[in-house]
Structure 1
Amino acid sequence: MPKRLLLPLLACCILSLQPAVAQPAPQVRHAATARSKAAAAIPVPPPSAYNGHPKLAIILVLDQFRGDYLDRWRADFKAHGFNLFLAHGAYFPDCYYEYANTETAPGHSTIGTGAYSDGHGINSNQWWDLNRSKDHPVTSVEDERYALVGLPQGEKTTPGVSPRNEMASTVGDELRLATQGQSLVYGVSLKDRAAILPAGATANGAFWIDQASGRFITSTFYMQQLPQWVQDFDNGHDIAEAEQAANASGTKNFYHDVGATPAAVSYELSFAKALIESTQLGHHDTTDMLTLSISSTDILGHQVGPDAPEQRAMIDAVDADLDDFFTWLDKNVDGGLGNVWIALTADHGVAPVPAVAAQMGLNAATIDMKKLLAGLNDAVNTKFSPGEKVEYLLPDQSLPYLSLNQPSFERAGINEQEAEQAVEDALPGAFNALVPEEPTAGAAQTKLPPRPALFRSYTREQLAQGQLPPTPFGEILAHSYSPNGGWYVMVTPEAFQMAGTPGSKGTNHYTPYAYDRHVPLAFYGAPFAPATYHGRVQPVDLAATFASLLGINQPSASVGQILTQALKPESEVTYPKPPAVRPHARAERSHKAAGTAAKTGGTQQ
């Protein structure tokens, strides 16, 4: 049983064993009733979300930003970018995801929902769903029922996207429900999944870029056409300026050529400013929310790895841009930055480039996925269809999930358990076939090259039925389960190993190892006591903490803890302005003012 469920269960058991409490005498009950009535007469301030404090809550996600970066390059940071959190916020340097599928889509869903894949259903960036497509894996946000909005004329608008695969509410959804739609919620990123999934199904809008042109677009799930302010932004000078800053003028691949540079960070934050200004976020009677995911750290990070000077320069540039953005917020939100909450985290960490780790002596092999899949297909054919070349595994695959071609097995009369077990049984041999030849005994040797090696594997049925080790690792695996992907086997190579081309300078993330699960977590805002808080926490704690402070329900599948150790006493929480007037209160006040004016024959000034 997950550890987070044990304490509530034990508390219930203990309470059930307590002796019945004797009823107080009648006069005591009457006195208690009188005190209760007196207490009820004292006005209780409404929760923050309802009285407009904070004016704006921001969930800031840095894509592929490992937890050690903030301390590693702390001396680089200037003014109030990252230092807003490090020097003036509540900083948790020991934050780790408690699941094994550390990819972009699951991470953003986890941040928004306060749940893991077994709660929100998103276990990968894409997966095979043969009921929806037989020629390509569907993405985490793909939805053929909707079309894309805002693409340059002539570009294909389908399939569109939506949050249809996210099976849990987000903290933004709960904010919208609690305020009956008065609070506005938006999501922004260069990536569609990073804009959509943390914001949720009730968001007023989500915006991301068309990868070719760099124009911000959306989906008919949210709106039938782009608002005029988005059209004006797309038709303005920002795209050309970003291309020029990235030395990529006229590019046909904005996402790659500009997205991997600091220019894309400035571009994305310029769009966020335009959104805040045009929708008047931070100027309403209830709390508004923005989920903002910075994608450039991931786009570049895959190419160069976490130890490259280019990635350090990118993070320094993000720091400068955040300083500018936070300064702008201070001037453009009612009450300034003191009326804003900001949570900072990341969707996943990242592994060192295998060649770099191998030079340090680690067994950091690169796994040739094409050869691995071919070896598995050959082994399964040998077992079930000797001499044939049936495609038992689907093409276009990536770790950690290997999707099986269910129709091929069913035509051979093989059920899911037999199919998944056959693939799992074939994995050790398929990995061994990837091992490079070693020198013969007695020959002069240097250090042997890294060897691809399998650490663990589990079938979908094992994950679904909880047939997992009763250990912390087993709990991590349980949190990684989702039915998405049909029949599959979850594969974990040894640490520091990943799919790719041998000798590549790039890197990846998708494993249960600490370097992929470690991310920063920090908060800035009136309720948070500035300090560094050591001790394990999880990204799911973000949504739980925000929901508690806003006085709203936690998201539907939330498993996070409220980070009470970082909260000020309520008596010490102050805001620059008094609570805003609720709409019904404003109408009532206007009605009274009109009545008074009529009686006096004048107007109220």
Structure 2
Amino acid sequence: MVPIKADKMKLRVLIATIFFVQLAFGQINDKPKLIVGIVIDQMRAEYLYRFQDNYTQNGFKRLMHEGFNVKNMHYNYMPTATGPGHASIYTGTTPANHGIVANDWYSKAKKAKMYCAADETVFLTDGRKASPKKIDKYSRSPKNLLGSTITDELKLFTNDRSKVVGISLKDRGAIFPAGRLADYAFWYHDQTGNFITSSYYHENLPDWLLKFNNRKLADSLLNLTWGTLKPIETYKNSGPDHAPMEKIFNGRTDAKFPYNLKKLRKANGNFAMIPNVPFGNTILTQLAKATIQGEGLGQKDETDFLTISYSSTDYVGHGFGIRSKELEDTYVRMDQEIAELLSFLDSEIGKDNYLLFMTADHAASDHPDFLRTSKLPGKYFEEDSIKQLLNSKLSKLYGNEDYIAYIDKTQVYLNPVKTSREEVLKAAAAILKTVDGIQEIYVSSLHSNRNLAIDDFFRKSHNLDNSGDILLHFKPGWMPKRMEGTTHGALYNNDTHVPMLWFGWQIKQGATVKKKTIDQIAPTLSFLLNIPLPSLSSKEPITEIFIGE
């Protein structure tokens, strides 16, 4: 046994010697040159596997085979949506703390519906004039996001020497990941086909982005025909082409491949059509490459951070559903976007010099009509009907008033009332318990622990200032009434289970099936980079990805 131990000791010494020699000659970096955070909008974890027969070896499969796969990653609050999802990934906490409780919510102070990234104190800009024109009646910034992001902490730690840029088709998908201290956030403007920013970041666009916009990629992509990338008979993991409940573009009578975009674009919003087809992801990959080169990301001593949020997957999912040929083709194409991006990063930054993670802002559920035809439970609920029921019954109890200010999927906001607010809340909760489809009700001021697992979800979801007075949790298979595609928002596995892949700098190959939650991504980055945790972040990283764990 002694020789074996001696051999092991010699091997360890040799490995350590090689490591320190490589470190001394710069072959192993003590920090990544660039972090790339990828969020794929509305991606179920199963898509890594369901569509894999048509994936290349260089996209999703490369991330899975060479990186670290967190197979059991979940959202731990509701509603699961784009704004809250991106905010949670990068702050390391949930809506109860970061305040982004939905894409839209009811402002109790303004007594009006508000958008999560709205900011009327700044303006949108798409040019480099000294006084940029206001291209919309309102603008965008991260001002509604509470606490710091991991990207903010990187900027603070390096005394602003690191660059942080966020890009997406959606403004909220660019803004919340980039954080409050970002150099830029750029998003797609569907009236012009250009990428824009707001005066929160800069009043002018950089020259390299003006050149990128001048390439008119959206215009050229909208002159293509969207056909299946692979022979349609190889798309065996989706339903029939032209199935019920699929989006039918204006100018068409069916939802069937191919789609001649040049003929359809004018009737479907022209540049606004790009997000609804997979070529929206194509244009974002090209922007990612242009951003890295234009901003010189990964070329300095400090670590830079690029956040990328691919949105066309979400639009296609909403329009055509999660069993459609259109969605399968979108993910086959998404795989090639990932492959192209990885190849570019290898050549531009260096294979071992960048750290990349990939996840999603939420998953998605099957359409109730599909569920019923598949002999599974599925029904609709209608917010207006619930609002009318509450107003009617509460008026009978306490006098004729408009009691409900706003209701959206999972949240009910009450107007100020003459009667005791607590009494009205109790009565409203009792009424809601009689509504078909409602599984659980949460009123923070009245709630007592009955179902600990559900209560934990509710507590992480409810923000005192921005959330509704009542949170609703519907039964499995229930969603707001819709005629096409799908949606998301519930706290069942359908909507919470998302992919989580780590790749590149100091990431060992492997996988874990231990349950993890979305608020563990930011602390994992903090400990990998040895920088402070975001101010409201969870303190629990994904320990399995660390060498030696």
Note whether the superposition's TM-score is higher than 0.5: yes
Aligned to 1:458, which of 442, 452, 455? 442
Residue 562 of structure 1 and its aligned partner are, at CA, apart by 2.2
Structure-2 separation of matches of 1:470 and 1:374: 29
Q: Residue 141 of structure 1 aligns with which residue?
A: 117
CA distance in 2, matches of 1:198, 1:97: 17
Letter in 2 for 1:261: V
In structure 2, C-alpha distance between the alignment counterparts of 1:327 and 1:547, rounded to whole Å: 26
Hey, what's the Cα distance between the residues in 1 that align with 2:539 and 2:487?
Answer: 27
The corresponding residue for 1:170 is: 149
SS in structure 1 of the partner of residue 101 of structure 2: coil
Match of 1:80 in 2: 58
1:392 aligns with 2:403: yes
For 2:216, the equivalent position in structure 1 comes to 237
1:533-591 residue CA offsets vs partner (Å, 9 max, x unmatched)? 22111222211111111110111111152223222349xxxxxxxxxxxxxxxxxxxxx
State yes or no: 1:532 paired with 2:548: no
* Alpha-carbon distance in structure 2 between the residues aligned to 1:211 and 1:58: 25
- Measured in 1, the distance between the counterparts of 2:84 and 2:194 equals 25
Structure 2 distance, partners of 1:517, 1:254, is 33
Bigger Rg, structure 1 or 2: 1
Say whether residues 1:226 and 2:205 are aligned partners: yes
Partner of 2:243: none
> 1:316-327 to 2 correspondence within 5 Å?
316-327=332-343
Query: Is the CA contact (8 Å cut-off) linking 2:411 and 2:467 kept in structure 1?
Result: no
Q: Quick one: structure 1 residues 462 and 314, their matched pair in 2 at CA, closer, same or farther if it must change by over 3 Å?
A: farther
| Counterpart residue number, 2:17 | none
Match of 1:244, SS? Answer: coil
2:396 paired residue among 367, 374, 382 = 382
Q: Does structure 1 residue 479 correspond to structure 2 residue 479?
A: no
CA RMSD between the two structures: 2.4
Contact 2:411–2:468 under 8 Å retained in 1: no
Code of the aligned partner of 2:458: L
Kept in 1: contact 2:74–2:518 (CA 8 A): yes
Which amino acid is the alignment partner of residue 64 of structure 2? L
**Equivalences for 1:228-377 in 2 at 5 Å?**
228-245=207-224, 247-249=260-262, 251=266, 253=269, 256-333=272-349, 336-377=350-391
How many residue pairs are counted as aligned between the two chains? 485
1:149-188 matches, cutoff 5 A: 149-150=125-126, 156-188=135-167
Aligned partner letter, 1:483: L
| Contact kept? 2:106, 2:113, Cα under 8 Å | yes
Q: Give the counterpart letter for 1:96 in structure 2.
A: H
Asked if the contact 2:158–2:302 (Cα under 8 Å) also holds between the matched residues in 1, the reply is: yes
What's 1:19 paired with? none
- Residues in 2 aligned to 1:258 and 1:167: alpha-carbon distance in whole angstroms: 32
1:446 corresponding residue in structure 2 = none
Per-residue deviation, 1:216: 0.9
Give the 4+ runs in structure 1 shifted more than 6 A.
Answer: 151-155
Partner residue, 1:422: 427
CA distance in 1, matches of 2:467, 2:154: 34
User: Cα distance 1:542–1:61, how it changes in 2: closer, same or farther (>3 A)?
Assistant: same
CA–CA distance in 1 between the matches of 2:354 and 2:338? 14
Quickly say closer, same or farther: Cα 1:383–1:80, change in 2 above 3 A.
same
Q: 1:151 to 1:355 in 2, by over 3 A?
A: farther
The answer to whether the 8 A contact 1:52-1:286 is kept is no
Deviation at residue 486 of structure 1 after TM alignment: 6.2
Amino acid at match of 2:404: L
Q: Does 2:205 align with 1:205?
A: no
CA contact (8 A) 1:521 1:539 kept: no
Instruction: Look up the match of 2:99.
Output: 121
Under a length normalisation based on structure 2, what TM-score does the superposition of the two structures give?
A: 0.83
Which residue number in structure 2 is paired with residue 500 of structure 1?
481
Supply the AA of the counterpart residue of 1:292.
I
1:147 CA drift (Å) = 1.2
**Aligned amino acid, residue 524 of structure 1:** F
Shift of 1:507: 1.5
Per the alignment, residue 82 of structure 2 pairs with 104
Q: TM-score, normalised by structure 1?
A: 0.76
- 1:416 is matched by which residue type in structure 2? R
Structure 2 letter corresponding to 1:422: A
What SS does structure 1 have at the residue aligned with 2:393? helix
Tell me, yes or no, if the aligned pair for 1:355 and 1:505 is still in contact at 8 Å. no
The 1:560–1:355 alpha-carbon spacing in structure 2 relative to 1, beyond 3 Å, is farther
1:462 deviates by: 4.1
Contact 1:256 1:299 in 2 (8 A): no
Aligned-pair identity (%): 28
The Cα offsets for residues 256-284 of structure 1, whole Å up to 9 and x where unpaired, read as 52212111110111111111110000101
Displacement of 1:200: 0.8
Contact 1:187 1:198 in 2 (8 A): yes
Out of 40, 44, 62, which is 1:62 matched to?
Answer: 40
The answer for unaligned runs of 5 or more in structure 2 is 1-19, 227-259
Cα distance, 1:210 vs. partner? 1.5
Cα drift, residue 477 of structure 1:
1.3
Separation of aligned partners in 1, 2:479 and 2:210: 41
- TM-fit CA distance, 1:531: 1.6
Structure 1: tracts of 5 or more residues without a match:
1-41, 433-452, 571-605
Task: Provide closer, same or farther for how the CA distance between residues 491 and 279 of structure 1 changes in structure 2, counting only shifts above 3 A.
Answer: same
1:259 is paired with a residue whose SS is: helix
Corresponding residue SS for 1:337:
coil
Distance 1:486 1:332, change over 3 A: closer
- Matched-pair contact (CA < 8 Å) for 1:151–1:157: no
Alpha-carbon distance between aligned partners in 2 of 1:176 and 1:155, rounded to the nearest angstrom? 29
Indicate if the aligned counterparts of 2:122 and 2:139 stay in contact, CA closer than 8 A: yes
- The answer to whether the 8 Å contact 1:90/1:522 transfers is yes
Give the match's secondary structure for 1:202.
coil
Change in CA separation of 1:535 and 1:381 when aligned onto 2, cut-off 3 Å: same
Report the more deviating stretch, 75-84 or 343-352: 75-84
Contact 2:218–2:274 under 8 Å retained in 1: no
What is the rounded CA distance, in whole Å, between the counterparts of 2:495 and 2:534 in structure 1? Answer: 25
> Against the structure 1 CA distance between its residues 256 and 394, is the aligned structure 2 distance closer, same or farther, given a 3 Å change threshold?
farther
- The structure-2 alpha-carbon separation of the partners of 1:214 and 1:323, relative to structure 1 and needing over 3 Å to count, comes to same
Distance 1:557 1:328, change over 3 A: same
Q: Given the superposition, is the C-alpha separation of residues 488 and 306 from structure 1 closer, same or farther in structure 2, using an over 3 Å criterion?
A: same
